[in-house]
Amino acid sequence: MLWRFVPRFIKQKIANFFGYFWRDCPICGKKFAGFERSDREFLMIEQTMISGIAIGNGQCICRDPKCEEETVRRNSELMKDFFQ
| Rounded Cα gap, residues 62 and 52, in angstroms | 31
Which pTM does this prediction carry? 0.72
pLDDT surpasses 80 at 13? yes
- Residue 34 is part of which domain span? 24-82
Res 82 pLDDT > 60? yes
Is 50 part of a structural domain of the chain?
A: yes
Are 40 and 68 within 8 A, CB to CB?
A: yes
Q: Is residue 30 part of a domain?
A: yes
Does the pLDDT value for residue 70 go beyond 70?
Answer: yes
Domain count, the chain: 1
Residue 54: inside a domain: yes
| Res 15 pLDDT > 60 | yes
Residues 6+ apart with CB under 8 A from 22: 12, 15, 16, 31, 32, 33, 34
Residue 75 falls inside a structural domain: yes
Note whether residue 18 is domain-resident. Answer: no
Strand 22-24 to 37-50 pairing: unpaired
Return all residues near 64 (Cβ < 8 A) that are at least 6 apart: 25, 27, 28, 30
